């Protein structure tokens, strides 16, 4: 993708326009002017998302023996959000425009240049007065009169009816106070000077119960992960599983993003696909296996091993998730950002962001964090309900340790606590109490969390698949053709079925037969209108990987050997092959599932 911002913006505009035109993604509530940061998926978008969801679910749960599924509710007891830290710390730093009170994320203000003007206040013939200093930046190339007009409109919008008509507002005592270059102190849209950065909680509040008072406040979940932690014990106790094992969940999440942007990339309502993979603490692995395997470049990550600690499990999941993305056509556009010790939360041991190339830049698609036992322990402490598991193998192995060996393990952990640069080291008494439980076979599991966003994944897949080419027809007329080169596994429509001529009833009947045969197994599209070339082009534009044409040969008109065969067209290679109708399913199913 281009590094030229103009080309990137144009590319993104084309993608947004195609998404609307062909029914992938629509602005929510469009007929009422939209609803910021909320998007609806049309017929093809719904299929695309469903395919991505199914791919994730099958890869992460069904095809594995060690991961179970969960489908928890969006609304939960607010105590969960207090315990998880979201009530107190799930916030972005925001700055507020002094003119309009519009907020912007402190790290989302692009540098601006221009002249800074100041007014001591404003008044209008209605008797309304604004006794507040107004400081704003002129936009590049903006005429002073346009600037004044713009400021009057903003003030009128903010003040409401009392201020009267914008054109009648008088700006008082204009003063040119500065010329700035590359300043991040002005609101990117309004030009109003920004206030100090302050934390702004991203959770969407609602009320559960009849009184709608503060006592009834709860939140729309900002992530699906916490429900997994809150239901950890129920799943563990009801499913006859042993650590290591995981719980996966797909579902809606809500964040009151202050600057939703880049189409669906940063939305206020979105879908997450999260796995919490519970593992033994390294000390338990050490006791059972006599060692904790260390990761090294080229380490074999294909099969999990009993001597894996958090580091190898974390690497394993980065590898698994990379393979997943390659399997849906995103190979080659991924990058990895390994968070530095400064980036990491105090409880996290490692976190890697899987980044993907979008037209607007290389951005996060998924985060994979090694979170220790932070989450389950937080819920254990807040709820008073144990989140420990009992491990017979650990108890038996610990029983064979000498006192010196046990003390050596304790000393190693104490040294690690003392070396901590973030968070409070665990006091010695707490470390000893923890080991006492561990030697009896009990511990709170640690967790590796691969957390992906479905909407971002869909956008990444669309952006990667988008391709334009220019075609010149026989008359020399240029036409721009768009192709979405979706991987067949995620393509919303797998096959287009076309009778060559719609006025040949036998051809149409055969095409309908083929369509009926395939549609039970995959999403197909039947089309008998326009030329065959136009029909192929329409399907290329929505990313259909295969086209089937029923023609004279199918009817046996060119010889019995071709009777009941069709032309199968491959979108990407342009190759056309003759296939028996009876062999179509067997050929297509492995390619699209």
317 binds ligand GAP (CB under 6 A): no
Measured from the CB atom, is 441 or 453 closer to ligand GAP?
453
267 binds ligand GAP (CB under 6 A): yes
Name the residue number minimizing CB distance to ligand GAP: 453
Report d(CA 305, CA 245) in Å as an integer: 13
Report d(CA 30, CA 17) in Å as an integer: 14
- CA dihedral for 183, 188, 194, 197, sign (positive or negative): negative
Measured from the CB atom, is 370 or 410 closer to ligand GAP?
370
Report d(CA 419, CA 397) in Å as an integer: 28
Closest approach of ligand GAP to the CB of residue 179, in Å: 36
Measured from the CB atom, is 90 or 526 closer to ligand GAP?
90
Report d(CA 310, CA 374) in Å as an integer: 14
251 binds ligand GAP (CB under 6 A): no
Measured from the CB atom, is 135 or 267 closer to ligand GAP?
267
Report d(CA 167, CA 122) in Å as an integer: 12
66 binds ligand GAP (CB under 6 A): no
Residue with tokens 């042993």: 242
311 binds ligand GAP (CB under 6 A): no
List all residues 6 or more positions away from 301 whose beta carbon is below 8 Å from its beta carbon.
Answer: 312, 315, 316, 319
Report d(CA 48, CA 3) in Å as an integer: 28
Contact 264, 39 (CB under 8 A): yes
272 binds ligand GAP (CB under 6 A): yes
Report d(CA 480, CA 271) in Å as an integer: 34
Strands 350-358 and 334-338: antiparallel
Number of H helices, E strands in the chain: 17, 29
Among 42, 164, 195, 367, binds ligand GAP (CB under 6 A): 367
Among 47, 274, 357, 551, binds ligand GAP (CB under 6 A): 274
Report d(CA 368, CA 15) in Å as an integer: 28
Report d(CA 371, CA 376) in Å as an integer: 10
Task: Tell me the window of 93-101, 109-117, 269-277, 294-302 that interacts with ligand GAP (CB under 6 A).
Answer: 269-277
What values do phi and psi take at 344, rounded to 5? -70, 145
Fill in the per-residue mask, 442 to 471: x = in contact with ligand GAP (CB under 6 A), - = not in contact: -------x-xxx-xx---------------
507 binds ligand GAP (CB under 6 A): no
Measured from the CB atom, is 98 or 267 closer to ligand GAP?
267
Task: Tell me the window of 97-105, 360-368, 385-393, 509-517 that interacts with ligand GAP (CB under 6 A).
Answer: 360-368
366 binds ligand GAP (CB under 6 A): yes
Distances (CA, A) of 78 to 133, 221, 249, 300, 318: 41, 10, 20, 43, 32
List all residues 6 or more positions away from 489 whose beta carbon is below 8 Å from its beta carbon.
Answer: 51, 55, 327, 328, 329, 592, 593
Task: Tell me the window of 152-160, 365-373, 392-400, 405-413 that interacts with ligand GAP (CB under 6 A).
Answer: 365-373
Among 151, 365, 398, 495, binds ligand GAP (CB under 6 A): 365
Size of the site for ligand GAP (CB under 6 A): 19
16 binds ligand GAP (CB under 6 A): no
Task: Tell me the window of 13-21, 65-73, 111-119, 263-271 that interacts with ligand GAP (CB under 6 A).
Answer: 263-271
257 binds ligand GAP (CB under 6 A): yes
543 binds ligand GAP (CB under 6 A): no
276 binds ligand GAP (CB under 6 A): no
270 binds ligand GAP (CB under 6 A): yes
Distances (CA, A) of 300 to 327, 455, 578: 20, 32, 43
255 binds ligand GAP (CB under 6 A): yes
Using CB under 6 A as the binding rule, the residues of this chain from 208 to 227 that contact ligand GAP are 223, 225
266 binds ligand GAP (CB under 6 A): yes
Interface residues toward ligand GAP, by CB under 6 A = 223, 225, 255, 257, 266-267, 270, 272, 274, 364-367, 449, 451-453, 455-456
């Amino acid at each position: 993708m281009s590094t030229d911002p103009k080309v990137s913006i144009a590319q993104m505009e084309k993608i947004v326009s195609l998404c609307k035109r062909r029914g992938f993604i629509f602005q929510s509530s469009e007929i009422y002017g939209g609803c910021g940061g909320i998007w609806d998926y049309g017929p093809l978008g719904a299929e695309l998302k469903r395919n991505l969801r199914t791919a994730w679910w099958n890869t992460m749960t069904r095809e594995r023996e060690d991961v179970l599924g969960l489908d928890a509710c969006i609304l939960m007891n607010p105590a969960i959000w207090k315990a998880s830290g979201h009530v107190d710390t799930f916030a972005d730093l925001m700055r507020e425009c002094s003119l309009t009170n519009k907020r912007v994320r402190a790290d989302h203000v692009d540098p601006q240049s221009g002249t800074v003007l100041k007014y001591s206040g404003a008044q209008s013939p209605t008797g309304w007065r604004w006794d507040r200093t107004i400081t704003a930046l002129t936009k590049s190339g903006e005429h002073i009169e346009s600037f004044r007009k713009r400021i009057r409109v903003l003030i009128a919008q903010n003040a409401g009816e009392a201020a009267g008509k914008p054109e009648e507002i008088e700006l008082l005592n204009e003063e040119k106070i500065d010329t700035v270059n590359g300043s991040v102190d002005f609101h990117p849209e309004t030009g109003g000077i920004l206030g100090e950065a302050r934390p702004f909680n991203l959770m969407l509040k609602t009320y559960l119960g009849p009184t709608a008072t503060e006592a009834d406040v709860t939140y729309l979940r900002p992530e699906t992960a916490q429900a997994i932690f809150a239901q950890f014990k129920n799943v563990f106790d009801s499913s006859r599983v042993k650590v290591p094992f995981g719980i996966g969940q797909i579902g809606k999440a809500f964040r009151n993003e202050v600057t939703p942007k880049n189409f669906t990339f940063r939305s206020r309502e979105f879908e997450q696909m999260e796995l919490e993979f519970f593992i033994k603490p390294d000390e338990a692995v050490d006791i059972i296996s006599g060692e904790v395997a260390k990761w090294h470049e080229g380490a074999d990550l294909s099969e999990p091993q009993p001597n894996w600690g958090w580091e190898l499990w974390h690497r394993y999941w980065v590898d698994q998730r990379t393979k997943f993305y390659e399997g849906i056509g995103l190979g080659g556009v991924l990058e990895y950002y390994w968070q530095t010790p400064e980036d990491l939360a105090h409880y996290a041991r490692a976190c890697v962001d899987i980044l993907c190339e979008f037209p607007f830049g290389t951005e996060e698609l998924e985060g994979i964090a090694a979170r220790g036992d932070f989450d389950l322990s937080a819920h254990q402490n807040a709820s008073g309900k144990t989140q420990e598991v009992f491990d017979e193998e650990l108890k038996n192995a610990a029983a064979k340790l000498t006192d010196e060996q046990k003390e050596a393990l304790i000393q190693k952990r104490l040294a690690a606590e003392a070396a901590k640069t973030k968070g409070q080291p665990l006091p010695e008494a707490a470390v000893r109490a923890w080991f006492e439980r561990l030697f009896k076979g009990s511990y709170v599991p640690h967790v590796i969390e691969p957390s992906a966003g479905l909407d971002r994944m869909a956008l990444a897949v669309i952006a990667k698949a988008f391709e334009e080419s220019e075609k010149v027809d026989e008359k020399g007329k240029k036409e721009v053709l768009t192709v979405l080169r979706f991987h067949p596994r995620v393509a919303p429509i797998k096959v287009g079925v076309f009778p060559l001529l719609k006025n040949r009833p036998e051809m149409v009947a055969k095409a309908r037969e083929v369509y009926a045969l395939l549609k039970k197994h995959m999403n197909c599209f039947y089309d008998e209108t326009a030329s065959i070339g136009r029909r192929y082009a329409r399907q290329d534009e929505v990313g259909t990987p295969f086209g089937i044409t029923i023609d004279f040969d199918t009817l046996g008109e060119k010889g019995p050997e071709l009777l009941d065969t069709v032309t199968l067209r491959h979108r990407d290679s342009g190759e056309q092959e003759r296939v028996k109708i009876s062999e179509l399913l067997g050929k297509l199913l492995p390619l699209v599932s």
